[in-house]
Amino acid sequence: MPILLDNFDNRDIHIKPILEFRARYERRLDSDFQPDRSDNRSNLLLRGRFGLQVSMDGLTATFVYQHASSLNWLPVGNGIAIRSDLLEANVAFKNGATTYTIGRQRFGLGNRRLIGELDWNNVANAFEGLKVEDRTWTFFLMRAGVLPTPSKGLVLSGVSFKRASNTTALIIKFDDAKGVNQTRYTLSTEGTLKPNAKSTLNYQIAFQAGHQDGKSVQAWAANGRYGMDIAPKVEAYSELNVASGGSSNRVNATFDQLYPSGHDRLGLMDTTGWKNIVSAAAGVKFKLSANSSLRLSYTWLQLYDNRDAWYGVGGAINAFGATLYRNPAGNSGRDIGQEFSLDYSSTLDNGFTLSAGAGVFLPGRFVKSFGGTSSGNQTFGYVMLGWKF
Ligand SMILES: [Ca+2]
């Protein structure tokens, strides 16, 4: 809500306070798929943001501070992890239809599958640099600002072109994280089609070239989602995700998912990233009221290349204890597993939102080959309450 002050040579200064709070309780059982091995955990994730947005003429300054703490209950003991960051500190200047934003800022491209704000994560994404945006074009040159896993050597640059129902982007990433030099060019196009009044088709396809670790990069990924209204306030949908993987002496074919808002992409339980994957999903979404919805979904997950690894939602290789889920011999098959989930979300009065979800993950042959014979399912549930001023 803007507060108007008549001041400073009759110019109008608008001051908008930014204030939000979120609490999420999570419980995850048998992340290791082993009922006999104790690893069950609970987390209470608390996050507060406070800041100010000050505007005068075409100039807007934004400052937001973020305090994120995680209270963790683990078999090895309880603990608390705290991250405090200046999430946004930027100045935006509007000249005609063009806006220049300089400084630390939240930044997302299109559907956020490649670069996004990652709001689900307690420590969200923010970048710092320059963004120039008009009605159709966006140019950006950024380095890491606030990331869950900091990457000091990162330079991210690119340009995107937006039409009515389609966005095409070229993203260039230079990075020397963990001593591995890489340059990746990602060319992506995404959009929405309406085959008829009751159905919607969303698509994205991305190609990567460049070099990493002395090899040439040749990778690609695709997403397609088809949703159809099958009854009043009921949508049925199916979704496909593919991302290449594997490597040879000369070529690295593992797709780099970059810095996405990765939650709820390949299953609600966030077990899997958009890397070396073939996945199909189907579900039904019920619009219970104007402010609430309930969804049932099923996700099937397979490795694209059975000699490459199973990658997690953050992009790193998943691990069973100290062992990475990777079989270079390729003799454990491709079957990662299947997920069944249920989630609910609603918008309440006075700026509150409430959501909850639960899921069960049935491991496949590839995952079971790491843990031995007594494999069991992984289960996950959460309840989240949010509030914004
Ligand atoms: Ca266990």
Which DSSP string corresponds to 263-303? TTSS-TT----SSSEEEEEEEEEEEEETTEEEEEEEEEEEE
Distance 30 CA to ligand 1 centre (A): 4
Banded pLDDT at 211 (limits 50, 70, 90): very high
Distance 377 CA to ligand 1 centre (A): 9
pLDDT at 178 over 80: no
CA-based nearest residue to 144, from 131, 126, 132, 158: 126
Distance 375 CA to ligand 1 centre (A): 9
Q: What is the pLDDT of residue 149?
A: 81
pLDDT at 12 over 90: no
Distance 8 CA to ligand 1 centre (A): 64
Q: What is the pLDDT of residue 237?
A: 98
Distance 41 CA to ligand 1 centre (A): 10
Banded pLDDT at 6 (limits 50, 70, 90): low
Distance 376 CA to ligand 1 centre (A): 8
Distance 315 CA to ligand 1 centre (A): 23
Distance 365 CA to ligand 1 centre (A): 17
- The mean pLDDT value of the chain amounts to 95
Distance 77 CA to ligand 1 centre (A): 15
128 Cβ contact list (under 8 Å, min separation 6): 103, 104, 105, 142, 143, 144, 145
pLDDT at 8 over 60: no
Q: What is the pLDDT of residue 251?
A: 97
Q: Which residue has 């078999």 as its token pair? A: 75
Distance 321 CA to ligand 1 centre (A): 11
CA-based nearest residue to 87, from 44, 118, 132, 56: 118
Quick one: tokens of 355? 């959501």
Q: What is the mean pLDDT of residues 81-107?
A: 96
Distance 279 CA to ligand 1 centre (A): 25
Query: Residue 36 and residue 364: Cα distance in Å, rounded?
Result: 18
Task: Mark the residues whose beta carbon lies below 5 A from ion ligand 1.
Answer: 30, 32, 34, 37, 39
Distance 82 CA to ligand 1 centre (A): 26
Q: What is the pLDDT of residue 5?
A: 54
Distance 14 CA to ligand 1 centre (A): 54
Q: What is the mean pLDDT of residues 46-50?
A: 98
Q: What is the mean pLDDT of residues 362-366?
A: 97
Give the dihedral sign, CA 273/334/278/181. positive
Q: What is the pLDDT of residue 373?
A: 73
Distance 382 CA to ligand 1 centre (A): 18
Contact 318, 312 (CB under 8 A): yes
Contact 44, 74 (CB under 8 A): no
Q: Which residue has 């979904």 as its token pair? A: 297
Distance 326 CA to ligand 1 centre (A): 20
Distance 99 CA to ligand 1 centre (A): 51
Bigger pLDDT: 40 or 3? Answer: 40
77 Cβ contact list (under 8 Å, min separation 6): none
pLDDT at 2 over 60: no
Banded pLDDT at 97 (limits 50, 70, 90): very high
Q: Which residue has 């200064």 as its token pair? A: 13
Q: What is the pLDDT of residue 177?
A: 78
Distance 368 CA to ligand 1 centre (A): 13
Banded pLDDT at 260 (limits 50, 70, 90): very high
Distance 379 CA to ligand 1 centre (A): 10
Largest CA distance in the chain: 77
Distance 103 CA to ligand 1 centre (A): 44
Banded pLDDT at 152 (limits 50, 70, 90): confident
pLDDT at 241 over 60: yes
Distance 264 CA to ligand 1 centre (A): 23
Query: Residue 30 and residue 1: Cα distance in Å, rounded?
Result: 45
Query: Residue 312 and residue 262: Cα distance in Å, rounded?
Result: 10
> What is the percent of the chain with per-residue pLDDT over 70, rounded to a whole number?
97
Distances (CA, A) of 352 to 115, 140, 345, 383, 387: 27, 33, 11, 13, 4
389 Cβ contact list (under 8 Å, min separation 6): 17, 18, 19, 20, 351
* CATH class in words for 3-388: mainly beta
Q: What is the pLDDT of residue 3?
A: 56
Distance 372 CA to ligand 1 centre (A): 12
1-5, 239-243, 340-344, 356-360 — which is least confidently predicted?
Answer: 1-5
pLDDT at 17 over 70: yes
Contact 215, 251 (CB under 8 A): yes
